[in-house]
Amino acid sequence: MTTPLNERRIANAIRVLAMDAVQQANSGHPGAPMGMADIADVVWREFLNHNPANPQWANRDRFVLSNGHGSMLQYALLHLTGYDVSIEDIKQFRQLHSKTPGHPELGYAPGIETTTGPLGQGIANAVGFALAEKTLAAQFNKADLTVVDHYTYCFLGDGCLMEGISHEACSFAGTLGLGKLIAYYDDNGISIDGEVEGWFSDDTEQRFKSYGWQVLRVDGHDADAIRQATVEAQAETSKPTVIICKTIIGLGSPNKQGKEDSHGAPLGADEIKLTREVLGWEEEAFVIPADIYEHWDAKAKGQQAESAWDKVFATYQEKYPTEASELLRRISGDLPADFAAQADAFIAQTNAKAETIATRKASQNTLQAFGPLLPELLGGSADLAGSNLTIWKGCVGVQDNPAGNYVHYGVREFGMTAIANGVALHGGFIPYVATFLMFMEYARNAVRMSALMKQRVIHVYTHDSIGLGEDGPTHQPVEQIASLRSTPNLNTWRPADTVETAIAWKSSLERKDGPSALILSRQNLAFQTRTDEQIQNAAKGGYVLAQEKGELKAIIIATGSEVELAMNAYAQLEGVRVVSMPCAEEFMKQDVAYREAVLPAQIRARVAVEAAHIDYWWKFVGLDGKVIGMTTYGESAPAKDLFKFFGITTEAVVEAVQSLTS
């Protein structure tokens, strides 16, 4: 050990705040903050480039606490370095409406870059931050002026490395050579169940070397060693670095350090008293001496760093005004001023073409039109670009050119989605990622995090039903659309043709407060004729596609490929209205008057048809209505045979309507 006593005392401020806050809340994880305090001391006081007075400074370093259960570590750091996180906020740890919830939550406290908690997703987000930094730098930096230049620092633990997503994300980071990603692995050997050697015996060093990372080992309580390793990590620009830090969980607690007892429960009043004695900390709970605050305060240093960058950017604006304006626009998240008008013009052209094609192809056509307008698009697919049709003519792979706009993620659905969340969080890009709808299941938790964090990520899912045919039930989605629709703050679009597909893309791109999922077909879908008013109403998520002939007696609600079935049934019936509902979430956001105009409450004869699980649609048809769809898994056969076998046909729709109106 070479850490001087005064430096250890500075780090001890984290330890006492963590154990005091967890004790007061009677809930939490004191062990990780106490064990990683020395690492955090070095990284945050000496290396992290940030400004507590402006947490959104564009060129700040990003910090991710992937082992988010140790959240008091980050809250202590934010408080000590001068962010707007008061000692009262620390005292309110894990309480309702506090800035300091149980896990770091985006939007609650300044300085929190991402919501972590589901283990492994934090490191994947960090890979997304590093990818965004590298790509944005390649797109905007000049030989004489560098305006995008920052690191991503990530703390992670055993649990993160046990989760499979860490393999997906870290393998990918090594392949891309994300040299400005530096991870600190809290190698304390303890998880909730005890010593991890009984269930986690990986050779982490060799694992990361095989990924193409630089691997360094240090004593996680030796400040000099941590410092030197960080310098080495910064010097390696062609590889990400993981610093394996051997630590003692709960360091300072005489009876619980190094044990699972300190992992996920308060230390207890008696143990805290003993810990204070061991640490030589005489102050009462939640009291930090003034001289300790002085050592931690990062406001002046942060302001100087931002001011220095401002001067560089001012010169950049003078020499490269177009690029500077574009960079500021992209960082703000605003679309080009003329995007809406150009998108609407494309939608009108699409309507005039009246093409009968698969909606996955319609999606690619839309990307071809919108892509040149939106340099912030950063697309990708999980090894299915040729099937998802996510590549348009202007795509350049970042693997070939760091300034590119397309990412080949490989077969990494979960990692891809969490990385895309990091890209969106970084700013400067709108990421879209794609796979088959069935394999959304691999990515499910990261999709949830997109919605929870309100990030503009566009999830493209093709091969949307039994209509994909011969690949069989393992590939045919049934319950997935309902799962997506049940996710709060996620807009799920299932367009019926080319026009609705273009509208879905436009809506998803314009939405700044959350993600969208585009559910697209493999097979061709019939074009539906619309008026200008219907096109406008389609953007509202649900609209009358076919007006009833005569008195309204029944309503057919359909999405995607089943809109064609509904329209075929409509041709055989009287007094029936067809409602296309490409996005139920958008429809439910409309005012009551509009919803009533589309689905009049007094019309109780309603039939919903969709080649997906039927349960979702009862909310729209009511107990008096009928739903035609799936209640089992699919089968392997041509699509036309499957739709007939499962009773998702025009005849079934006609029969259902007649049974309700006879």
Residues with catalytic roles: 413
Say whether 463 counts as a known binding-site residue: yes
Say whether 388 counts as a known binding-site residue: no
Q: Long-range CB contacts (< 8 A, 24+ apart) of 276-281?
A: 276/16, 278/252, 278/253, 278/254, 279/9, 279/12, 279/15, 279/16, 279/252, 280/9, 280/12, 281/9, 281/12, 281/16
Say whether 375 counts as a known binding-site residue: no
Helix axes 204-211, 164-176, angle to 10 degrees: 40
Q: Are strands 576-580 and 543-546 parallel, antiparallel or unpaired?
A: antiparallel
Say whether 119 counts as a known binding-site residue: yes
Say whether 439 counts as a known binding-site residue: yes
Please tell me whether residue 154 adopts helix, strand or coil conformation.
Answer: strand
In the DSSP assignment, the letter for residue 326 is: H
Cβ proximity of 530 and 538 under 8 Å: yes
Q: Is 9 exposed, middle or buried (0-12, 13-18, 19+ CB in 10 A)?
A: middle
Say whether 38 counts as a known binding-site residue: no
Say whether 84 counts as a known binding-site residue: no
Say whether 50 counts as a known binding-site residue: no
Cα distance between residue 538 and residue 585, in whole Å: 12
**E-strand spans in 520-562?**
524-525, 543-546, 554-558
Say whether 118 counts as a known binding-site residue: yes
Q: Are strands 241-246 and 357-358 parallel, antiparallel or unpaired?
A: unpaired
Say whether 471 counts as a known binding-site residue: yes
Say whether 188 counts as a known binding-site residue: yes
318: phi then psi, degrees, rounded to nearest 5: -70, -40
Cβ proximity of 492 and 447 under 8 Å: no
Say whether 429 counts as a known binding-site residue: no
Say whether 227 counts as a known binding-site residue: no
Cα distance between residue 141 and residue 323, in whole Å: 9
Q: What is the DSSP string of 302-322?
A: HHHHHHHHHHHHHHHHHH-HH
Q: Which two tokens stand for residue 579?
A: 């409602």
Say whether 522 counts as a known binding-site residue: yes
354 dihedral zone (left: phi>0; alpha: psi -120 to 50; beta): left
Say whether 191 counts as a known binding-site residue: no
Helix axes 650-661, 562-570, angle to 10 degrees: 50
Please tell me whether residue 164 adopts helix, strand or coil conformation.
Answer: helix
In the annotated binding site for substrate, the residues are 29, 263, 360, 387, 463, 471, 475, 522
In the annotated binding site, the residues are 29, 69, 117-119, 158-159, 188, 190, 263, 360, 387, 439, 463, 471, 475, 522
In the annotated binding site for Mg(2+), the residues are 158, 188, 190
In the annotated binding site for thiamine diphosphate, the residues are 69, 117-119, 159, 188, 263, 439
